[in-house]
Structure 1
C-alpha cells in the first residue's frame, strides 16, 4: 500500500486460467469429430458433386475453429499461422497470392482472375489455418474411418462405372462418365495415406481390400490423370519404404526442377513420350495436351517477368497477339487453361511467380520430411502423385483442386500427431 501511494508499480496480477463451461467442453470434444466426418465424406460426396472439396474445406475449418475456440486454443493456432507465414516458404506462398491478386490489374480477364485469386488464396489460407488448428487440438484420423470412407467412395464409383452410370441416373444425377474423374483423382491421392495408417495398425486384410476396390474404381474411370497419379504413387511408395530420405530428396529436387524448366519441357513433351504410349492412351487424352503446351509456351516468352495476369490462359485465343495463328492453333488454346499448372503459372505470373511457387513447393517438401517416420513414404508418394496430376490436368487456381489438397494436408496433420508417438 505504501509503495502504491509513493508511485511504485502495482504488483502484477496473474492471468486467470481458461476454464471452459460444460457446453464448451462438449463442443471441444465433438467439433473435431465433425471435422473428421466432413473430411472422410468428401470422396463419396464428389461422386455427385465434383466441386465439393472447396466447400468441405470450409466446413472442416469451421468445425476446427469451433472446437479450438471452445478449448481456448484459437489464439495459439493463430500464432502458429503467423509464425508459418514468417518462414521462407510461408512468405513465398503469401507473395505468390499477392502477385496473383496484383496481376488482376493486367489480366485480360480481370473479373475471372479476381474470382480465382479468391479460390486460390482462400484455399491456401484455410488449409494452413486448419492444419494449425488440427495440430493444436490434437485432431485424430482413425485408420478404419478413412479406409472405410475411401472404400465406400471407390465401391460406389466402381459400381456406377461398371453399370454405365445406372446408380447416378437412378438418383437423377448427370450420368456422364467424366463426372467421376475427380473422385478417381481423390481416391488415388488418399490411398498412400490410408496405406500408411492401416499398415501401422497391421490391418492388412482391410488394406488389401481397399487397394482392390481403389484399383477397380480408378481402372474403370476414364481419368488418365487419376491413373497417372496412382502409377506415380506406386512407383514412389515402394522405393520410399526402403529408402525414405533418399527418395524424398530425389522427388523434391525433381519436382522443383521440372517446375522451373516447364517452359522448356512443354514444347517437346510429346517427343519425350514413346509412340507406343501415345497410341495406348490416345490423342484426346495425351497427345493433344502436348500440342496445347507447345502452342502456349511461346506466349510465356512474350511476357516473361510478370506474365499475362491470372487466368489469362482462358482468353489467349482471343488476344490480338493470337490473331496471326492458324485456326487449329487457336483451337488448341481454347481449352480454358493449359492443363499444366507449372506452365500456367509461368504464363500468367511469369518468372517472379514461378520462383515464388518453386520456393513454396520446396518448403512444402521440407515440411513433409519432418513428418513421423511411418508417414514419410506415403507423404512423398502423395506429393509426387499430386505434382504429376497438376502437370497434366486441371487449372492451377481452381477452387476444388486447392480444396482437395487442403483436405489432404489436414489429414496428414491429423495422422502425424497419432503416429509420432509410435516412433522409436
Structure 2
C-alpha cells in the first residue's frame, strides 16, 4: 500500500477550520494594513470579519475549548479590571450630556474589547508559521506602498491624503508584531529591511507625533532587549503612573514650559486650559463628566478650543478617578504580560504598547473606532505569534543508544 493511502482519512471539518483560520488571520495581518491606505473604515470593517472567522474556526474544532479559554480570560484579574473599565464607561452614559454620540463611542469600545477577548480565545494552541508569515508580508507591502504614495505626493508638491496618513499610522503600530515575528525566526536581514522602511515612513509623520511615538517604542524595544524584567517593570510603572497623576501634570509642566516662550505657545495654552478645567470642577474628578464630553464640549463651546485632546486628559475628564485608575491597572498588567512573552516578542510587545500610549498621549486618534479596531488586531497578532514559537528542542540521542551491530569508532577516527 502506498504512503498516500496509508494516511488517515481527511477530516472535512478540520480542513474547513484551517482554511477559515488562515483567511481570518490573513484578513487581519495582510489585508488590513494595505486596505487602510485606501479606505478610512478598513479597520472597522475588516477587524470584526477576521475575528468572526477565527471564532468560527475555533467552534468547528473545539467549541468547549473556546468557551473555557474565553471564560478564563474574562475572569482573570486583568480581564475583570478591563471589563470593569468598560462597564464604568457605559455607566457614564447616565450623566453624560451627549447621550447619542456617547452611546456610539461606548458601543465601539465594547466591540473592540469583545473582539480582543473572543479573538484571543479563538487562537489555536499551536499557530502555523505559514499563517504568521502574513504579518511581516502585509506590513512590508503596505509600508512600501505608503512610502511610494508619500514620495509621489512630495514630487507633485501636494499634501498627503488624509486616508493615507491614517493608513501610515496603522502600519506603524502593526510593524511591531511583524518585527517581533521576524526576529523570533532569526530573519535578521528581513527585520532590518522592514525596520528601515518603517523608520523612513515614520519620519514623514514627524509633525503629527507618530515619529516621536515610534522613537519611544524603539527605546522601549532596546531597553527590554537588554533587561527584560527590569525594563518592562519600569515602563509599565511609568505609563500607569502618568495615567494616575495626569491631573497634576499641567501644574508641574506650566512653570517649565513658561521658560520657553518661543514655539511653545500652543502647548502653554493647552496646559493652561487643562489646569483651569481641573480647578473649576474638582469634585467631578471622581466620577468624570461622562463619555464623549471632551469632543462635544469643544464643538459647542462648553470647553475652550485650546483644551487638550490627549488620552490623559480625556480619561480623567470623562471617566474620572475610577476610570483612570482602572485604565492605569489595565496598562500595567498588559505591559507586564507583554514583557513575559518569549524571545523577541517581549521587546516587540512592550514597544507596541509604548508606541500606542505615546500616540494617544500626544493627542492622536483617542478612542476613535478605527484606532480601537487596529489595537485589537495588534493584540491578536501578538497572541498568535506567541503561540507560533518553538516550545521544545529536538532531543539529542545519548551515545549508548546506537543501532545493533554498529561498533563505536575508535578514538581519533572521525568516521568520515
**The two structures share one fold, judged by TM-score above 0.5:** yes
Q: What is the alpha-carbon distance in structure 2 between the residues aligned to residue 277 and residue 184 of structure 1?
A: 32
Q: What is the alpha-carbon distance in structure 2 between the residues aligned to residue 278 and residue 84 of structure 1?
A: 50
Q: What is the alpha-carbon distance in structure 2 between the residues aligned to residue 275 and residue 192 of structure 1?
A: 37
Q: Which residue of 2 aligns with 1:42?
A: 32
Secondary structure of the corresponding residue to residue 397 of structure 1: coil
Superposition RMSD in Å = 3.0
Q: Structure 2: state its 5+ residue gaps.
A: 1-8, 395-416
Give the C-alpha shift of residue 21 in structure 1.
Answer: 8.6
Counting only pairs closer than 5 Å after superposition, residues 226-375 of structure 1 correspond to structure 2 as 226-269=210-253, 272=256, 279=263, 290=271, 293-294=274-275, 296-298=277-279, 301-317=282-298, 322=302, 330-333=304-307, 338-375=308-345
The structure whose Rg is larger is 2
CA pair 303-386 structure 1, distance change in 2 beyond 3 A: same
Kept after mapping to 1: 8 A contact 2:132/2:388: no
Q: Which residue of 1 aligns with 2:189?
A: 205
Q: What is the alpha-carbon distance in structure 2 between the residues aligned to residue 374 and residue 351 of structure 1?
A: 35
Secondary structure of the corresponding residue to residue 415 of structure 1: helix
Give the C-alpha shift of residue 26 in structure 1.
Answer: 2.2
The superposition leaves residues 353-388 of structure 1 with CA deviations (integer Å, 9 ceiling, x where unpaired) of 112222222221232233213311111111111111
The structure with more helix, counted as a fraction of residues: 1
- Give the alignment's TM-score, normalised by structure 1: 0.81
Runs of 4+ in structure 1 deviating by more than 6 angstroms, as ranges, are: 273-278
Q: What is the alpha-carbon distance in structure 2 between the residues aligned to residue 355 and residue 22 of structure 1?
A: 49
Of the three residues 194, 216, 233, the one matched with 2:200 is 216
- Give the alignment's TM-score, normalised by structure 2: 0.83
Q: What is the alpha-carbon distance in structure 2 between the residues aligned to residue 266 and residue 259 of structure 1?
A: 13
Give the C-alpha shift of residue 133 in structure 1.
Answer: 0.8
Q: Structure 1: state its 5+ residue gaps.
A: 1-19, 170-174, 323-328
Give the C-alpha shift of residue 104 in structure 1.
Answer: 0.8
Kept after mapping to 2: 8 A contact 1:177/1:221: no
Give the C-alpha shift of residue 283 in structure 1.
Answer: 6.5
CA pair 32-317 structure 1, distance change in 2 beyond 3 A: closer
Give the C-alpha shift of residue 258 in structure 1.
Answer: 0.4
Q: Which residue of 2 aligns with 1:179?
A: 163
Q: Which residue of 1 aligns with 2:109?
A: 120
Give the C-alpha shift of residue 229 in structure 1.
Answer: 1.7
Kept after mapping to 1: 8 A contact 2:184/2:343: no
Aligned residues: 384
Q: Which residue of 1 aligns with 2:363?
A: 393
Counting only pairs closer than 5 Å after superposition, residues 20-169 of structure 1 correspond to structure 2 as 22-40=11-29, 41-71=31-61, 73-136=62-125, 138=127, 140=129, 142=131, 144-164=133-153
The superposition leaves residues 252-272 of structure 1 with CA deviations (integer Å, 9 ceiling, x where unpaired) of 000110000111114554655
Kept after mapping to 2: 8 A contact 1:190/1:408: yes
Kept after mapping to 2: 8 A contact 1:178/1:223: no
